[in-house]
Structure 1
Amino acid sequence: MSGDTEARGGRSQGFWVGLYLASVAIIGALKLTGAIESPFGFILLAVATGAMIVPMRRAGACTSPAMATYNRRVLVSTFGYVLGLGIAVTLWNSYTLSTPVVFVISLLPTLPTFGVIWAMGRYLADEQDEYLRHRTIMAALVALGFVLALGIFWGFLEMFELVPHVWAWWVLPVWAIGLGAAQLWQKVRGA
């Protein structure tokens, strides 16, 4: 823990990220085993995501004012994504919908993902510290490379019928995982 976090008696950023990932893993396991149904699983994911906003701000997770704003924007967009996805899937599974309605409900999880992309671009424009901006750009490039390599590899495996089809909306979550892994690697390396 950082000295600032300890002085306030709070938890570190890593604690909250770990708690969130554990929550997502537990919710995912419950969903996969059939212990919980779709609407309840999505509600739990939305609650877990929304619950991250306050602790992350208090954990001293931000190295600059621009990063604090970025974190808030991404958490709000992620909350909207999970909530929108839950509503869309629930409506799709529960009702027979016309094509225009299906188009509209498909926008519910899509629009918040645009918020995540916008937040990244806005962060890069707002960040005054060149070193922090460089680290973020490098992590984003590693994440992009990860998505491209994985997408190409999976695409060929799928073409030769070795793996099942994967929906294209997985690109953003996989990119986010790559971004987090690249940022963690930078932190561990001290670069």
Structure 2
Amino acid sequence: MNASGNLTGRRGITASPVFWGLAFFAVMAVIAGLQIAGVIGASGSLALMLVAGPAMIVPMMRSANRLARESGCGSPAVRRFNTRMGVSSAGYVVALGLGIWCWQQFHPGTVVTVALALAVVVPIFGMIWATARYLHEETDEYLRQRAAIASLYGLGAVLALGSLWGFLETFRLVPHVPGWAVVPVWAIGMGIGQFRMSAGKR
């Protein structure tokens, strides 16, 4: 990335965590599309998700750490945060894939279904804990402020897109979106916030 903040330079766009984040969601969308179209079954979709998800999260976390270092916004607390978020995100992908697959294949009773839902939520608690823990561990006030602003980006994305989609759904212009979609929207919003601040600093 050059001084103007453009996605150019020594490593190019692939060095950006935004690239890996968008690539991750694009790959997940393609897998879902293949399953909906009947090209692959539930088992094939799960296998692809379990391989592609964590495999893309790792370089995304590494690029986030590299961007933090190169923009002068790295710290031990930042690296721990990125690692915790990476582990929680990978756990979320795995739990979500396994939970949906088990529900579709075995049609369990209410108690087991609730347990599957809780298992998917546990990694989300991990993401929330990682964010709160970072704000507690970070000793640099500037970096702590950046994290708080990035969290507001995520919250703003959830509130704005959720409200917009809700009204469009009320007016029967768009299909229903499940509530768990707020987590990816929140994560994308946080990522965009961090990236914009890093790009602006450079």
- TM-score (normalizing by structure 1): 0.82
35, 38, 49: which one aligns with 2:42: 38
Corresponding residue pairs, total? 184
Where does structure 2 lack aligned partners over 5 or more consecutive residues? 3-10, 69-73
CA distance 1:121–1:39, change in 2 (3 Å): farther
Matches of 2:188 and 2:12, distance apart in 1: 20
SS in 1 for 2:103: helix
Q: CA deviation at 1:16?
A: 6.7
User: Where in structure 2 are the equivalents of 1:29-178 lying within 5 Å?
Assistant: 29-33=30-34, 34=37, 35-51=39-55, 52-53=57-58, 56-57=61-62, 60-62=66-68, 63-178=74-189
CA distance 1:156–1:114, change in 2 (3 Å): same
Q: More deviation in 116-125 or 12-21? A: 12-21
The two structures, once aligned, show a CA RMSD in angstroms of 2.8
* Aligned partners of 1:53 and 1:72 also within 8 Å: no
CA distance 1:20–1:41, change in 2 (3 Å): farther
Q: Which digits, 9 at most, give the CA deviation of each residue in 1:75-111, with x for residues without a partner?
A: 1111111111111111111112111011011112111
- TM-score (normalizing by structure 2): 0.78
Where does structure 1 lack aligned partners over 5 or more consecutive residues? 3-10
CA distance 1:150–1:20, change in 2 (3 Å): closer
Q: CA deviation at 1:40?
A: 3.1
Matches of 2:174 and 2:140, distance apart in 1: 44
| Identity between Structure 1 and Structure 2 (%) | 40
Matches of 1:111 and 1:144, distance apart in 2: 20
Matches of 1:19 and 1:149, distance apart in 2: 24
Q: Which digits, 9 at most, give the CA deviation of each residue in 1:61-86, with x for residues without a partner?
A: 55110111111111111111111111
Matches of 1:103 and 1:180, distance apart in 2: 30
Amino acid at match of 2:100: V
- What is the aligned partner in structure 2 of residue 28 from structure 1? 29
SS in 2 for 1:32: helix
Q: Which digits, 9 at most, give the CA deviation of each residue in 1:30-86, with x for residues without a partner?
A: 430343333333333333343343784486355110111111111111111111111
